[in-house]
Amino acid sequence: MAELGKVTRALQSISCNVRDDRTLAGQICQACVDGLDIDGAAISLFTASTVRETLYASDATAELLENLQFTLGEGACMEAALSGRPVLVPDMHEVVETSRWPIYADAVMEQAGVAAVFALPLQWGIVNLGVLDLYRHASGSLGHAQLRDVMSAANTATLMLLGLRTDPGNNQAWHQSWGNRAEIHQATGMVVAQLGVSATIAFARLRAQAFVEQRLLGDVARDVVARRLQISKDTCPPGRERRDDGYG
């Protein structure tokens, strides 16, 4: 039997008395930062295709990466969530690796100074809770042992977070963790009412508005809720065809 890696061992040593999902996510991310050749980590959870919550980010750069992906709707995290497979990009300057997310790749390198990203889905069977995101300022792959360790750690983290989610005595704490995205949810509902479209299309229009204005999605949502901004049916990012995914 292969020896457990440093991160997996650290996760298994976390007290079972941890009842707060943000605290648990923080300990998981810290274990990754301490045990792997990376600079930062974040955990994002998903409740539906249009709803994502950054549960924990180890530093400002990790938080920026999460916000960029949520705003742009593309990136390693989004792909890992949709595919259920790890997305490992050891060199963000490699066009072959990043051409499927051109805007995200440019933003990651220019705004965050990040050269490598690794996104691991937090998935158990058909249950997909979210993604464990790792980044590094220097390019380069994770070593074989570290990759094996973080894959095992992602499975362990999934079971730990799933345990909190399904604990009957802890449901309130779990649902409260989504509060930071309340304005985005509220803004989506306002666009639904205003334009008479589905929540999916309303969310896409909010995202398109953020793209056009080159702002974070949360800032756009805040303006919609405060009625400083009204989303138009004509909102469509430059260079994108109008189609049935919410941009046209």
Higher pLDDT, 47 or 102: 102
* Domain assignment of residue 149, yes or no: yes
Q: How far apart are CA 185 and CA 229, in angstroms?
A: 16
Q: Between these two residues, 216 and 8, which has the higher pLDDT value?
A: 8
Do 209 and 100 belong together in one domain? no
Q: Is residue 56 part of a domain?
A: yes
**What average pLDDT score do residues 210-226 get?**
85
Residue 109 has pLDDT above 80, yes or no: yes
Amino acid 177: pLDDT: 43
Total number of domains in the chain:
2
For residues 158 and 190, state if they share a domain: no
Span 167-186, average pLDDT: 56
pLDDT above 90: percentage of residues in the chain: 48
123-156 burial, b at 16+ Cβ within 10 Å, e below that, comes to beeeebbbbbbbbbeeeeebeeebbebbbbbbbb
Structure tokens that stand for 86 in this block: 């790890």
* Whether residues 126 and 223 fall in one domain: no
User: What type of residue is 211?
Assistant: F
Burial bucket for residue 179 (CB in 10 Å: 0-12, 13-18, 19+): exposed
Q: Identify which of 121-130, 191-200, 210-219 has the greatest average pLDDT.
A: 191-200
Q: Which residue has the higher pLDDT, 163 or 65?
A: 65
User: What integer pLDDT is reported at residue 245 of this predicted model?
Assistant: 36
Do 125 and 38 lie in one domain? The reply is yes
Same domain, 124 and 224: no
**Claim to verify: residue 49 and residue 168 sit in the same structural domain:** yes
Note the pLDDT of residue 2. 60
Q: Average pLDDT of the chain?
A: 83
Please write the tens of the pLDDT for every residue from 131-167: 999 999 999 999 999 999 999 999 999 888 877 765 5
Domain containing 198 equals 178-248
Give the pLDDT of residue 224: 93
Report which of residues 82 and 247 the model is more confident about.
Answer: 82
Q: Which of 15, 233, 40 is nearest to 132 (CA)?
A: 40
Task: Mark whether 152 and 208 lie in a shared domain.
Answer: no
* Position 1 in a domain: no
Regarding predicted confidence, which is higher, 202 or 62? Answer: 62
pLDDT of residue 10: 93
User: What's the CA dihedral at 217, 101, 246, 239 to 10 degrees?
Assistant: 100
Task: Output the pLDDT for position 86.
Answer: 96
Task: Flag whether 64 is in a domain.
Answer: yes
Per residue in 68-106, pLDDT (tens digit) is 998 888 999 999 988 999 999 999 999 998 999 999 999
The 3-state DSSP class for residue 16 equals coil
More confident residue, 168 or 84: 84
Going by C-alpha positions, the residue among 154, 136, 243 that lies closest to residue 200 is 243
